[in-house]
Amino acid sequence: MELYEIEQKSSFSIGTLTSLFYCDKMAMISNKRMGCALLPTIDNILKKHKNILILIVAISIFLVIFAAYFSIVSRVSKAPKDMISISEQVLDDASDNAMAVTIGEITDGTVVFQEFNIPSGEFAGIALQFGTYERTNNGTLDVNIKAGTEVFNKTIDVNDIEDKKYYNFAFDNAVTFADDTQAVITINNQNSEKSHAVTIYAYETEKSSSSCLSINGNPTNYSLDMQLYGSQTSPYVTIIYLLFMFIVIIGFVLAYIALVVKKIKMTTVFVIALAVFGVVYMFMFPPATVPDEPSHFYTAYRYSNFMTFNFEQRSANGVLMRQGDNIVIKSTEASLEQYNSEIKDFQWFCSDNTLTLVGGDNIKNAPFAYIISGLGIAFARLLHLGAYPMFYMGRFFNLLVFIAMAYYAMKKMPFGKIAIFAISMTPMVLHLAASYSYDAFIIGLAMVFVAKFLDAAYGHNTIGIKNIVIISLIAFVLAPSKLVYVTIIFVVLLIPKNKFINAKYHIAFKCSVILAGLIGLIFVQMASISTITATGEHLITWSGTPGYTISDIIKSPFHIAAVLYSTIIQKGDFYLGSLVGINLGWFQTSIEWYMGVGFLAIIAAAFIMKDDEPQPIKPSGKIWIACLIFASAFLIMISMLVSWTPLEYTYIEGVQGRYFIPLLPLVFILVRSKYITAKKDFDKGIILFSVFLNTLAIIKVYCDILSV
- 402-430 pLDDT per residue, tens: 999 999 999 999 999 999 999 999 999 99
pLDDT band at 227; cut points 50, 70, 90: confident
pLDDT band at 529; cut points 50, 70, 90: low
CA nearest to 269, candidates 393, 445, 406, 427:
406
Span 501-518, average pLDDT: 87
pLDDT in tens, 316-342: 788 999 988 988 998 888 887 788 788
pLDDT band at 232; cut points 50, 70, 90: very low
Angle, helix 465-478 to helix 503-532, in steps of 10 degrees = 10
Give the pLDDT of residue 360: 79
Is residue 278 classed as helix, strand or coil in its secondary structure? helix
Distance CA 358, CA 355 (A): 9
- On the question of pLDDT at 507 being above 60, the answer is yes
* HSE-up (13 A, CA, CB side) for residue 388: 16
Span 163-192, average pLDDT: 84
CA distances from 108 to 139, 164, 189 (A): 8, 21, 5
∠ CA 707-698-76, rounded to 5°: 15
- On the question of pLDDT at 369 being above 70, the answer is yes
- Other Cβ atoms closer than 10 A to 194: 8
Give the pLDDT of residue 41: 56
pLDDT in tens, 80-134: 333 344 334 433 444 445 577 888 899 999 999 998 888 776 777 888 889 998 8
Is residue 152 classed as helix, strand or coil in its secondary structure? strand
Distance CA 42, CA 56 (A): 17
Answer with the residue of higher pLDDT: 238 or 539. Answer: 539
With a pLDDT cut of 90, the percent of the chain lying above it is: 38
- On the question of pLDDT at 20 being above 50, the answer is no
- On the question of pLDDT at 523 being above 60, the answer is yes
Answer with the residue of higher pLDDT: 61 or 704. Answer: 704
Answer with the residue of higher pLDDT: 176 or 197. Answer: 197
The domain ranges of the chain are: 100-229, 293-707
Fold for the domain defined by 100-229: Jelly Rolls (2.60.120)
CA nearest to 700, candidates 589, 597, 594:
589
**140 and 189 Cβ atoms separated by less than 8 Å:** yes
DSSP 223: E
Give the pLDDT of residue 345: 86
Answer with the residue of higher pLDDT: 427 or 13. Answer: 427
Does this model's pTM top 0.85? My answer is: no
